[in-house]
Amino acid sequence: MSIRQYLNRYAEDMHPESDRGTYQHALVVPLYDEDPCSIDRILTKISGTPLVVAVVNVPDDAPIPARERTRKLLPELTDRPDTIVVDRASAGHELPRRQGVGLARKIGTDLALKIYAAGQIRSPWLYQTDADAILPANYFDVPLPDRGAVVFGHTHKSPDPDLQAAADLYDAHMNHYVAGLKRAGSTYAFQTLGSTIAIHAETYAGVRGYPRRNAAEDFYLLNKTAKTDGVTSIDDVCVTLYARTSERVPFGTGPALKQILEDRKRGEPYRSYHPGTFDLLDKALRYLELLTERPDVSSDNEKVAAVFSDLGFETLRPRLIDKYRSPERRAEVLIQWFDGFRTLRFIHEARRWFPDQPLEAIRHA
């Protein structure tokens, strides 16, 4: 799908193109119940001036104090240079509660795409971040691929030692997951934090933009991108994220940090995926490779067969045999089927044999 087709058919209603001149880069930032100085803090280390698309938003079920604090951002940001402010916080403009941050990111990125299509942004890469981020000095300087999406490295920081300890554990847990996927040879071995993503304009249009979800919108955007133009991890760029607890979304970093702090107060260790789950994933991926040549063969591993049955593999098998005749086409179909979402489900289902272990023990091993 072309950029023009996407803008005509699937983009959100948007402001007119910017009349602020031409910029090298665009940066999209959703803002809900944030500090007025957030954007200045985000940009404090970088050189150059990007066009910032700030989507000031509240869900329609937001508490009244959060609504009022968010609406106060609008006059604070409206006259800020090099910033386009999208108002989804005023009465009558709030976001549907179940679409939340996903819709906010989509609105902002759709607008950035429209401005790029008008020739007012030179770089085809649409950068994404959040109000809790500080971008590094080399953020816009690292060479990027021809297409697809990139995920920059990150680290969580907090002046509170307890919160920092919780953030270190959470980062270690997420790194452990990605490293396990990578060792197993998964196509989906990358982090999925919305504050660390950049996506190519043509790729963004091709996957029809962000899903309108109140959580995991970053995961699903990258999951679709991995199936088309690919996702590249770039650890040479490290985004600093302010560690903070949160209940604004049902899951993610904020709720996870809150849970870790509560568990530590009770003396409970923080647990993560047993290494055996990734060994089983490796066997599953090897089985999928075998299926490209022999689509009628069953797995000789009972655990893999059991999880694949739970994931609905038997509904796909007849098509592998009857419809997709070449190994190359079968390989493509299997990568699409066993995507990032099913990979995560596989790891969770494997817990029946490999229960989570204390993270410290895993790291020590």
Q: How many CA atoms does the CB half-sphere of 66 hold within 13 Å?
A: 16
Q: Which residue has the higher pLDDT, 114 or 15?
A: 114
CA-based end-to-end distance of the chain: 47
Query: What number of helices (H) and strands (E) belong to the chain?
Result: 15, 10
Distance CA 123, CA 125 (A): 5
The pLDDT assigned to 116 comes to 96
DSSP result, 130-189: -TTEE--TTTTTS---SSSEEEEEEEEE-SSHHHHHHHHHHHHHHHHHHHHHHHHT-TT-
The pLDDT confidence band at residue 263, using thresholds 50, 70 and 90, is confident
Find the helix packing angle between 275-293 and 327-337, rounded to 10°: 150
Instruction: Using CB atoms within 10 Å of the CB of residue 309, give its burial: 0 to 12 exposed, 13 to 18 middle, 19+ buried.
Output: exposed
Instruction: Using CB atoms within 10 Å of the CB of residue 4, give its burial: 0 to 12 exposed, 13 to 18 middle, 19+ buried.
Output: exposed
Distance CA 45, CA 357 (A): 39
The average pLDDT across 187-214 equals: 96
Please provide the average confidence, as pLDDT, over all residues in the chain.
93
CATH 3.90.550.10 positions along the chain are: 3-153+191-236
The pLDDT assigned to 190 comes to 97
The pLDDT assigned to 364 comes to 67
Q: b or e along 222-235 (b: 16 or more beta carbons within 10 Å of the residue's beta carbon)?
A: bbbbbbebbbeebe
Residue 92 has pLDDT above 60, yes or no: yes
pLDDT in tens, 251-262: 678 888 888 888
Domain 3-153+191-236 has CATH 3.90.550.10: yes
Distance CA 85, CA 188 (A): 34
Residue 294 has pLDDT above 70, yes or no: yes
pLDDT in tens, 269-289: 989 999 999 999 999 999 999
pLDDT in tens, 313-342: 999 999 998 899 899 999 999 999 999 999
Q: Pick the closest to residue 353 from 279, 268, 271, 263 (CA basis).
A: 279
Residue 18 has pLDDT above 70, yes or no: no
Distance CA 189, CA 338 (A): 13
The pLDDT confidence band at residue 97, using thresholds 50, 70 and 90, is confident
- pLDDT cut 90: percent of the chain above it: 82
The pLDDT assigned to 83 comes to 95
89: CB partners within 8 A, 6+ apart: 32, 56, 57, 58, 67, 70, 71, 73, 74
The pLDDT assigned to 17 comes to 57
